[in-house]
Each structure stands twice: as structure tokens, then as C-alpha cells.
Amino acid sequence: MRRSVFFLMIVGLVGGCQEKAEELNVDHVLKQSEIQLMYQLKRIDQITTKKLISPRSVDEQGTLHMVPVWEWTVGFFPGSLWMMYDYTQDEFWRQKAEAFTTALESQQYNNRTHDTGFMMYCSYGKGCALTSDSTYRAILIQSAKSLASRYNDQVKAIKSWNHGKDKWQFPVIIDNMMNLELLFWAAKATGDSTFRNIAINHAMVTLEHHYRMDNSSYHLVDFDPKTGHVIKKETVQGLANESAWARGQAWGLYGYTLCYRETGIPMFLTQAEKIADYIMHHPAITADKIPLWDYDVTSKADTPRDASAAAVTASALFELAQYSDKSKTYRTFGKEIVSSLASSSYFAEAKTNEGYLLKHSTGSMPHGNEIDVPLVYADYYFIEALLRLKKLEKNLGN
């Protein structure tokens, strides 16, 4: 899918996403992010109800879309607020982060979802790291217990979706690699190695069954819960079962990087490097490094990008750069991604976009959900990527 120079010019003119990124100033972007988040808080005050507690995207009219406490994305906004507090040390951001985090307390007992890590570790986990609040610690431990209850010892993995019982028996999606961080934390916090063992087993099974020879990943693998045997493999949110859904590749990269950090197991580092190389050297990689929603989709001027996949990838690369011999390569590629996301092609003008930082993310193209819109998790991983880059360059003396 290599593009001609002429085609790239057309994409730039039509899509507005090929603009050459300006020199990246991380502090400037973080300060612009602070302005946007402040605006989003005002919009939330105007819209929120007791049942809708956290922003996720925008609706068809472009208005702020809020979600209830049990929805999988609820941890990202409080997580963004915690990161803003970490950056500014301004008590205003701590107070707002605490308020949005506390609203999720009931979800520590939610064992009906594999997304407990997204919901609770991205919120309470960030808060616990910054405040050492004993209440947060207890809630996180219970959250880990709820997540661990979904583990099947025959499959050696955590069940993902409860829905789709007519389609799957024990579905495990690549996204679930992200939720393992909660289990690793709980193992260290409690001294109970059960959490750690579950996380490692899940990562091993995912490595064995989700990945193809070219190091791209299926989205979903369905297992027989009684035998642990694979029933089928699919890519539910991608172009086709054998295609490489962009955000799925990013989840895997991030997941195996954190697994290496927590375990030191060499095969996890090797897998993270293989995924990174797959992404960076894919023939369909765009000039601005922001992927199309699936790496195998036919590229046209109006083909949606996925800024959320880009943000997750960049954040993962900046951590991977700390462990790999290819540090400079990963750091450089991640910085190219962040520079593009920080450009006017993707970063919203102040007090627009309902307060979201980034434009041009894709939720689920096959289902027609959240196409070319802002997404709260794109913002979360973008802020995380900025902070990781800032710390990385400080350590390197840049």
C-alpha cells in the first residue's frame, strides 16, 4: 500500500492530516492540554447528571457524550486529571481527580467485566501512586480480586466479554493485556503471588494464540472453557479476521512492554520489540505516523485514522525505549507520533471539540461506532505519552 507523492499531496489537501508537524514543545502542549481539560470540566458541569459521570466522546450532534459508572472508559478522565496534577502540582487538579475517582468506588466489586484495569487502575491506580491514600489501596486490591475472578484455569486466561454467548464460549481479546497491570500491582501490594501468576499465564496464552507469524495480532480468540482448546480466531473491530486492527496492535505493544517491566521475562520484551517493528515498518504506515483504523484497509483520502491507536503506541514506545537496545529508534518514532498528534491536524483548538484534546479517533468502524471523533482514552494515553517523553528526555539530558 505504498503511496505516490501525488497521492500524499491529495490526502494532505483533502484530509488535512498530513501536515508537517512543528517542532515539539512538550511543556507547551501540556499547558494547552490543561486549558482544554479546564474547558471540558465546565462542559461536564453543564451536562452531567447523577447517572452520567464521565466523558467518553461526542454524540452525533457533536455534543459531549457522558457515560454511566459501569462503562469501560470511566477511568480515563480521572486518570487524565491525576496526570495533570502530577505535572502541575496544582491542588485544583488533585481535587477534581479525587472527585471523579471517588465516583467509581462501587466498581471495585464489578466482576462482570475484564475492563476493571482500565476503569480502576487508570483512576485509582494513578491516584494511589501520587497520594499513597490507603483507601485507594484497599479499593484497588478488591478491584484486582474482581478481575481475577474471571480467570479460568483450563484456559489459563481471563475471560473478556460476557455478551455474545451465541458467538463465543470464552472470548479473550487483545485489549485484556492492558488490564494485567492491575494484577501485577496487587501482587506487589499484597504479597499474594496468585495475582502475578494469573497475569503471566494470561500473557503467555495470548502470546501463543493471538499472534500471527508476522507479529500482528488477532483481536479475539475464543476458547473452550472446559478444555482450554482454541475454537476460533477473529478480529471483531478490524477490517477482517486476518487483518491488523490498529488499536489492537497498540494494546499488544503496550501490554507486553508492561509485562516485561513487571516480570523481567525476556520473551515479553522480545514480543514487544516484534510488535513495535511490525508497526514501524508496515508498508501502510502513514507519512505522519498516525495509522488508519486498520493497517490492511485500502487507503483513500477519507479513510478514518485512529489517533487513539497512535497515542497508545507512542506511550508504549517511550517505555519500551527504557528497556530495549533499540531505544533511540523507538524514542524517535514515538516522538514523530506525538509531534503529529500535537499539530493542528489532530490537536483541537482551545475551547473546542467539547474539551477533548485530540480529534480523529475511531472506536469501532465495523459497527459504525465513534468514527472520526474524539475519544477520552486517546487523550489519556496522549498525556501519558507526553509525560513519559518529558521524563525520558530529562533522564537522557536532552
- Per-10-residue mean pLDDT of the chain, 398 residues long, equals 33 41 87 98 86 95 96 98 98 98 98 97 98 94 98 98 96 98 98 98 98 98 98 98 98 98 98 98 96 95 96 98 97 98 98 98 97 98 98 84
**Nearest one of 358, 388, 386 to 374, comparing CA atoms:** 358
Q: Which of 90, 115, 192, 222 is an active site residue? A: 115
Which helix (H) or strand (E) segment holds residue 328: the answer is: helix 327-341
Three-state secondary structure call for residue 362? strand
Give pairs for 149-156: CB < 8 Å, separation 24+: 149/111, 150/111, 150/114, 151/198, 151/201, 151/202, 152/223, 152/225, 152/228, 154/224, 154/225, 154/226, 154/227, 154/228, 155/205, 155/223, 155/225, 155/228, 156/201, 156/202, 156/204, 156/205, 156/228
Whose grid coordinates read 483533502?
A: 14
Please, are residues 358 and 309 in contact by the beta-carbon 8 Å criterion? no
Instruction: Say how far apart CA 189 and CA 134 lie, in whole Å.
Output: 11
Decide if 175 is catalytic: yes
Compute and round to an integer the Cα radius of gyration of the chain. 20
pLDDT value of residue 199: 98
pLDDT value of residue 309: 98
Burial group, residue 101, by CB count within 10 angstroms (0-12, 13-18, 19+): buried
**Can you give the pTM of this predicted structure?**
0.94
Phi, then psi, of 53 in degrees rounded to 5: -115, -10
**Nearest one of 360, 366, 354, 260 to 310, comparing CA atoms:** 360
Strand runs labelled E in 135-248: 151-152, 157-158, 171-173, 220-223, 230-234
Three-state secondary structure call for residue 233? strand
Which helix (H) or strand (E) segment holds residue 79: the answer is: helix 76-88
Please, are residues 310 and 339 in contact by the beta-carbon 8 Å criterion? no
Cell of 126: 494513578
Q: Which of 27, 153, 166, 175 is an active site residue? A: 175
pLDDT value of residue 398: 63
Instruction: Say how far apart CA 291 and CA 247 lie, in whole Å.
Output: 9
pLDDT value of residue 19: 45
